[in-house]
Structure 1
Amino acid sequence: MRLIMTNCLRLLKTKVSIVIIFLVALHSEAWSQSKRLEIDKIMNEVGIPGIQIAYTKGKNTDLYAQGVKKFGTADKIDSKTRFQAASLTKVVAAYTFFRLLDRGLIELDKPLMYYYTYDRLYNTTHGDKITARTVLTHSSGLLNWEGDVPSAQWRATPLTLQFEPGTDYMYSGEGFYFLQETMEHITQKSFQSLVEEEVLNPLGLTHTNIVWNDTLEPRAAYGHYELDKPRKLGKYAKTNAAYTLYTTAADYTKFIQQALLQGKGLKKGTHKLMLEKAGEAKKSPDVDPTDQYVPCALGLRMQLNEKGVAYWHTGSNPGFRCFFITYPKRKETLVAFMNTDQGFPAMKKLMQLFLDNNQTFWAYDWREGELD
């Protein structure tokens, strides 16, 4: 009799467990469907042809892929569609730098010209004061771009400084390219090889490339001027640490989880250093009261608000807008890629949709998503 009762209890527990699992799955699907409808609404309001989103809370990641790769076609966005990550590339470049720093190959505060004589700065006063720290905090004094990137004429253009390195703030892609060439010189490896060896392969980012190759064409999203005006397919044939990453929301989330939140591949002290406040940001020549909420970490931007510290970055390439924001203590991350110049108004709407709305989203409100 006791054996029968035991078996009956086991059977009952099994059935209850199955019911609970079913109800949880049903609730999860309903939640996802609700989010998909809200995403569609945002896409219609803003005018977004295609979007790819990854939302992580704890150990669970939800993926959303909606719309089309190119307006006027039936080629739908899916979870493996490649988007241009634009300036989110800079965060990958920063992590690559810290991998080399951990090996003693380069220092944070030693002038980059100590390692590599950059011809574009040869006759520039104070050019020899630019360090990796000033590059990663956008205090190098270099313009965002000086010339027609990535033409040969641009590469031959001498660089000018807008201020002495380390004394002010100015968002700069040129600084990251200088750091790229320095790392290439030190290691005698191409930046493509460095990123593949230090980031993509160790972290298992199998749907990410640092530069264009023709195998990406059937999977690549087209950029758009606006909803119904597609651009030509963007094919960056030369690596640039500031903007040439092709990836997916799922892969970039894996990068955030492993490299930024776990510090995988970095010494504990280096990981801590990467996430510390390292500089101030400025939205205009004069200090603005809102600048204090978005200081610079090394290669990242911080958001300081009612929910504590978050890390974020945005990206803006011709035809693409993207962003990520991650809350380490809340174990919550949101990544979104959009294939239109008009995409940034969706940034705040998406943060309000997925994240606790009882907070100030300085990541958007500071400059409506734009960093340069």
Structure 2
Amino acid sequence: MAVLALALVSVGIAPALRAAPGAGDRPGCDAPPASASAQAQARREAFDAAMRAHGIPGAQLIHTRDGISEAYCHGVLNARAAATVGDDTVFQAASLSKVVAAYIALRLVDAGQLELDKPLWDYWQSPRTRDNPLARRITTRMVLDHTSGLPNWQISPSNPAIDHTPLQSKFAPGEHYAYSGEGFYLLQRTLEHLTGSSWNALAAREVFSRFDMPSSSYLTDPALHARNANGHAGNGSAEPERIFAWENTAWTLVTNAHDYDNFIQRALYRGEGLRPDTHALMFAPSSDADDPAAPSPADAFIAWGLGVGLQDADGRRLAWHWGDNPGFKAFFMLDPASGESLVLFTNSENGPAAYKQVLRTFMGPGSYPAVDWSSAQD
């Protein structure tokens, strides 16, 4: 009954069109343009139907193909209120945060401040790894391709004790793949020490200001309170509001589809700000993404580059990442060859149930094993 109620009150808003990021006005989804095609209208209806079918209160999506972006919004910020999602609504990006971190790390590699295969311990002696000789061997490359050997989380990342909790290795660095938020947080603290900058300030300088991302932050911004989407459980009930009081590059990015689409198109697709060979490393398999603790039939189709997942299926390689915070689910996919991309933010635990339907609507028919693979992870 809760899903039915949400479906009845949910609203779908037709798309607006724009040139690719950096080439024109920002996308908007508050009203359809007069020039909206029948195909765009059909995609809008399919998107709205997918959100309704899975009881997702609110969502944003931007699809870019052939240099043209379409922006779509759905539903409400909070199921208990009437405010509708617009193009300026902000969502928790969850682990899509890590892709921004990967780009920043590669920028520092190009600047000569960081080496991919030099242990992080050689740059900064973290108190969390001081008594762990295995962890002292972790390199930037191992963090980015998730072969650090660290757990996803040693302690809840929202616990202030995290910076004083020793890290325990699950296996020797480089031995095999295992997804780790702790690895990215260790990299963050190392880069903060290396640059003398807080993480949010570093991200603002290297990414947010560079790629026109005015609504993005790794910290909760009180000025954006009225634009914040609220997370929802699978039954449609609103989750408590979360405040990010300190940055964690593995999961605290707050952003919207406009900002993140700019990042995808300019940083990931075009490689702006990176040397061509460094940019290419993001999309070259660096680990096989086979975690013995989380086997999946989709393993054969998935590898990991430097900061992004790689799906090889249906005759093309696609880069992707998923985000999984309580009450918020997110996903993006990019064709590095053509620049076609999709970014989706939802304020519901039910978001992943709609991923394949949305991907097939916008990026074409396919099996999309990345969705199956991500569902098998912690």
Q: TM-score, normalised by structure 1?
A: 0.89
Kindly indicate whether the alpha-carbon contact (under 8 Å) linking 1:72 and 1:228 is maintained by their aligned counterparts in 2.
no
Q: Return 310-319 or 123-132, whichever deviates more.
A: 123-132
In structure 1, how many angstroms separate the alpha carbons of the residues matched to 2:295 and 2:357? 27
Decide which of 95, 99, 102 is 2:107's aligned counterpart: 99
1:86 aligns with 2:125: no
CA deviation digits over 1:290-316, x for unaligned, max 9? 313110000000010123111000000
Q: How does 1:215-364 map to 2 (within 5 A)?
A: 215-285=223-293, 290-357=298-365, 359-364=366-371
Q: Return 26-35 or 120-129, whichever deviates more.
A: 26-35
Kindly indicate whether the alpha-carbon contact (under 8 Å) linking 1:142 and 1:174 is maintained by their aligned counterparts in 2.
yes
Kindly indicate whether the alpha-carbon contact (under 8 Å) linking 1:71 and 1:230 is maintained by their aligned counterparts in 2.
yes
User: Sequence identity of aligned pairs in percent?
Assistant: 38
In structure 2, how many angstroms separate the alpha carbons of the residues matched to 1:110 and 1:134? 10
Kindly indicate whether the alpha-carbon contact (under 8 Å) linking 2:89 and 2:256 is maintained by their aligned counterparts in 1.
yes
Structure 1 or 2: more helix by fraction:
1
Runs of 5+ unmatched residues, structure 1: 1-24
Question: Counterpart amino acid of 1:136?
Answer: L
In structure 2, how many angstroms separate the alpha carbons of the residues matched to 1:331 and 1:246? 24
Question: Counterpart amino acid of 1:170?
Answer: A
1:65 aligns with 2:78: no
1:365 aligns with 2:360: no
Q: What SS does the corresponding residue of 2:351 show, helix, strand or coil?
A: coil
Shift of 1:227: 4.8
Instruction: Please tell me the root mean square deviation across aligned C-alpha atoms, in Å.
Output: 1.6
In structure 1, how many angstroms separate the alpha carbons of the residues matched to 2:278 and 2:43? 37
Decide which of 162, 167, 175 is 1:159's aligned counterpart: 167
Report how many residues are paired: 346
The higher radius of gyration belongs to 1
CA deviation digits over 1:183-204, x for unaligned, max 9? 0001111111110111111112
Kindly indicate whether the alpha-carbon contact (under 8 Å) linking 1:227 and 1:340 is maintained by their aligned counterparts in 2.
no
Q: What SS does the corresponding residue of 1:203 show, helix, strand or coil?
A: coil
Aligned to 1:7: none
Shift of 1:47: 1.0
Runs of 5+ unmatched residues, structure 2: 1-32
In structure 1, how many angstroms separate the alpha carbons of the residues matched to 2:169 and 2:234? 35
In structure 1, how many angstroms separate the alpha carbons of the residues matched to 2:226 and 2:46? 28
Kindly indicate whether the alpha-carbon contact (under 8 Å) linking 1:281 and 1:292 is maintained by their aligned counterparts in 2.
no
The 3 A distance-change label for structure 1 pair 214 and 330 is: same
Aligned to 1:172: 180
Q: TM-score, normalised by structure 2?
A: 0.88
